[in-house]
Amino acid sequence: MDGIITKALGAKAPASITSGDKGRYSSPLTSRYASAEMAFNFSDANKFSTWRKLWITLAAAEQKLGLTDISDEALSQMAEHIYDIDYTLAAAEEKRRRHDVMAHVHTFGVAAPAAAGIIHLGATSCYVTDNSELIMMRDGLDIIIPKLASCIDKLSSFANTYKNLPTLGFTHLQPAQLTTVGKRACLWIQELLMDLRNISRARSDMRFRGVKGTTGTQASFLTLFEGDHDKVEQLDELVTEMSGFPAAYPVTGQTYTRKVDLDVIATLASFGATAHKMTSDIRILASFKEIEEPFEKDQIGSSAMAYKRNPMRCERVCSLSRHLMTLIGNVQQTASTQWLERTLDDSANRRVTLPEAFLTADIVLSLIQNIVDGMVVYPKVIERRIRQELPFMATENIIMWMVKHGGDRQQCHEEIRVLSHQAGRVVKGEGGENDLIERIKNTPYFAPLIPHLDELLNPSTFVGRAPQQVDAFIKREVVPALAPYRARLDAGVTQESINV
């Protein structure tokens, strides 16, 4: 039997397994987590069909501006073959030519033979690679922004619901003055609003590379149009407009400046920090049993400890957010090392970094929507924790009451100090409950205070303006920020069915 086991463990996987889909690495961002819309946005199918659209746009604009070599039949054939891409032929062409763009130029020419001679006319590879990446980033931001607005909207409803519920505040992760559950949620919302502002600004700032040629001088297009500078400018403007951008970058090298990537990814990485902080807070509160993320009826928290209710969604957000935050380093390095008009050491890096940043941000947003949709608050647990700490916090109020009613501040302080230390020894040394209030009740010095003690210990009197701050914050900050998305939010921003 030992020999059979040893042989089985040492055997290699058969070719039928290693050559199949399950025998190839697949990124969990797409295979396990990503929404269908974002996964498609950065797919090969979308990228290469976008290339074909860009070639059609270029040819149509060139024809419109007077290049008679481009026929209507050529444009018609190209338009008929945007999506039916022969990937087998493209792979063979790329293996032969060692150039992905030219492989797809030839493949498109086979599908549209009337256009074979004019596809990519006057363009450099970056006409399709850079412009398609700008399109995908633009469309990716258009997927992300409404989901972010939805998270803010849902969390604002949560904050409004719990704006009056006192809870123990923490500084240095030590008990501090009371706040409310809703006010704490506003701290998360405020950072999400900053992300909404930053990402929306990056989206509105995006431009097109347009038609700029091999080093950005448009020399090839100037030759095509026989030195007519106006027509070259019109071509750039027309292709930009047909591609759905309000403007193109006025100057480029071979590529658009990689500062654009840095600008966009920085906003996503910053959102990653927000998501990590928020879900870390929820994980801490879950350990206190005050708040929990959704936990489904048949969900298993631990394979060994059956009682566990691990905050796995929040843990996943933290895990993915860390990945999202680290990607900014790649983009910074790439932007800083693009020598002169461009170098190709950006290409392989960006093939990984750009899609992963968008996919990760999208996944994190879907997870946060799911968490906020089903977040559970346990008021009784929160109340018990307040009772454990509030007597110590109430000592200042007690001293003030006694002084206002004729007591000596220094004497009152000493009485409270002695009783507080006695109660502290019970809590820390004996593991007992905080009995400071009982000690105060049993001390003759505080007899005038006793009828007013319950009022002084009401938790709602310790939260300051927290409820009013929630109301003002939602009215002044959240409502205006979400106004552009209100109709879509009311209609329901669909949350993709992902493995949350």
| Residues involved in catalysis | 172, 302
Please give the Cα distance from 278 to 353 (Å, whole number).
24
**How far from chain centre, in Å, is Cα 440?**
51
234-273 as b/e: b if 16+ CB within 10 A: ebbbbbbbbbebeebbeebbbbbbbebbbbbbbbbbbbbe
Q: Is 291 in a helix, a strand, or coil?
A: strand
- 10 sits in which H/E element: helix 2-10
The answer to whether 420 and 434 are in contact (CB under 8 A) is: no
3-state percent helix, strand, coil for the chain, nearest multiple of 5: 70, 5, 25
Compute the Cα dihedral for 239, 241, 242, 243 and give only its sign.
positive
Q: Which residues pair with 377 in a beta bridge?
A: 291
Please give the Cα distance from 57 to 178 (Å, whole number).
61
Q: Closest Cα partner for 330 from 347, 312, 311?
A: 347
Q: Is 443 in a helix, a strand, or coil?
A: coil
Q: CB-based contacts of 146: which residues, under 8 Å, 6+ apart?
A: 485, 488, 489, 493
**Residue type (1 letter), 219:** A
Please give the Cα distance from 479 to 476 (Å, whole number).
7
Q: Closest Cα partner for 178 from 377, 434, 376, 393?
A: 393
Please give the Cα distance from 121 to 102 (Å, whole number).
12
Number of neighbours of residue 473 by Cβ within 10 angstroms: 21
Pairing of strands 291-292, 376-377: antiparallel
